[in-house]
Chain A
């Protein structure tokens, strides 16, 4: 459902992505791994056009997106994103954060948007926080709200950019739990993470990037236990699994 062909992206002199071909099927939970600087976050950000690839195409549902002709807002509305630093809107309450996009982008009726937001808050276990402002939440709670906010657009797929990297260790579990629930419901997910436990247990596909190219694309068992790739072995030793 999301497919990239020959994706190239540079920041100045530095070529971060060197021709990425990746085809993500509906319902897949893909974890992107790699050392820092390998290009995994950049690849993720290319998938919803927050980064502009110089070469190559990204297709959603079989249709190649043209940055100039297509309405990128519409494309992005169908692919949600969860950020490392949550990026909740600080001037809006938790409920308003979740209602915002349905109201503004989908022009949803206010009462309907509120019901949707309340349902999603219940899903992430934060019904009691509807009327507080984000600065009153813990990191784990913020990220759960951010997930609910992304879900409010009823996206076809969700992108996670290191969703637990900014969290205190004891708060990581609650966020991973919500992500696991989503995976079980069949949500298509692309996740950049250093949580190898999540990769092992929840993902059904691991994609390893190294210096801007995909060097391994395998199921978790093969990736963690039977990889013959030297760089993969080095990486796994480094992250201690």
Chain B
């Protein structure tokens, strides 16, 4: 056992310069996927609850396809699909694929949150003379956003971990780096233990930030 700890320590010390670099790539991919996914999510959630049958159908189709197929297939599909049409780096192809994937789940989070706002809020807004867009933007959506924050945080954590899958299309993020390192140092057990620790710490930091934000919201208003 002490021997294992010693090699673990050695692996950690040998890998951290490269791993920290790769952490940045992981965080960038995740950040882009989160921003894209949230934008997609809001748009498709609004389409799904809209009165237009066409928009509803498009949103349903998107959500069904994304949720019904593995992320890894979507990454490959989008990577070969997009790069055959436009010139795009592996990094961006991966980030976009992850964003599109996330959008479907986030759309469902927002839809649930919007529909969870008491219908009296909408009626009060309309009764005051607001139109439907004003009622949504000023009254319903801000309340839905608060409800959506815990499940959104959850989804963002999943995104952070799922970002490891873009190693398959050659993005040099944390997992790709670990994979390469393990092949070179012949210590896969220790190496993947180290990289697991990196992910765990990232998730813990994010969870903590989310908690702070939620507490701030609770102080600010009901």
Contact = CB atoms under 8 A, between A and B. Distances in A.
B127 A85 contact: no
A240 interface: no
B138 A104 contact: yes
A171 to B, nearest CB: 19
B24 to A, nearest CB: 36
Interface stretch (B3-11, B51-59, B118-126, B165-173): B118-126
Interface string A89-107: 1111000000011001110
A91 B127 contact: no
B222 A76 contact: no
A105 B222 contact: no
A89 B126 contact: no
A80 interface: yes
Contact of A76 (B121, B126, B143, B146): B126
Contact of A90 (B128, B138, B143): B143
B129 A134 contact: no
B136 to A, nearest CB: 12
Given A90-B222, A104-B134, A134-B222, A76 B128 contact: yes
Contacts of B151: none
B139 interface: yes
Contact of A50 (B118, B121, B123, B130): B123
Contact of A87 (B121, B142, B221): B121
Contacts of B126: 50, 72-73, 76
B118 A101 contact: no
Find the residue from B124, B128, B134 having the highest chain A CB count within 10 A.
Answer: B128
A48 B127 CA distance: 7
B70 to A, nearest CB: 39
Nearest to A88: B124
Nearest to B120: A87
B83 interface: no
A42 B182 CA distance: 71
B124 A83 contact: yes
B128 A105 contact: yes
Interface in A102-138: 104-106, 133-135
B131 interface: yes
Nearest to B143: A91
B32 to A, nearest CB: 29
B127 A81 contact: yes
B201 to A, nearest CB: 34
Find the residue from A77, A78, A83, A90 having the highest chain B CB count within 10 A.
Answer: A90
Contacts of B128: 76-77, 80, 100-101, 105, 149-150, 153
A106 B127 CA distance: 14
A100 B138 contact: yes
Contacts of A78: 129
Given A50-B123, A104-B138, 13 more contacts: A72-B126, A73-B126, A73-B129, A74-B129, A80-B128, A90-B143, A90-B221, A91-B222, A92-B221, A100-B128, A133-B222, A149-B128, A153-B129
The 4 closest A-B pairs by CB, nearest first: A77-B129, A87-B124, A101-B128, A135-B222
Interface of B: 118, 120-121, 123-124, 126-131, 134, 138-139, 142-143, 146, 221-222
7 contacts: A76-B128, A83-B123, A83-B127, A90-B143, A133-B221, A150-B127, A153-B129
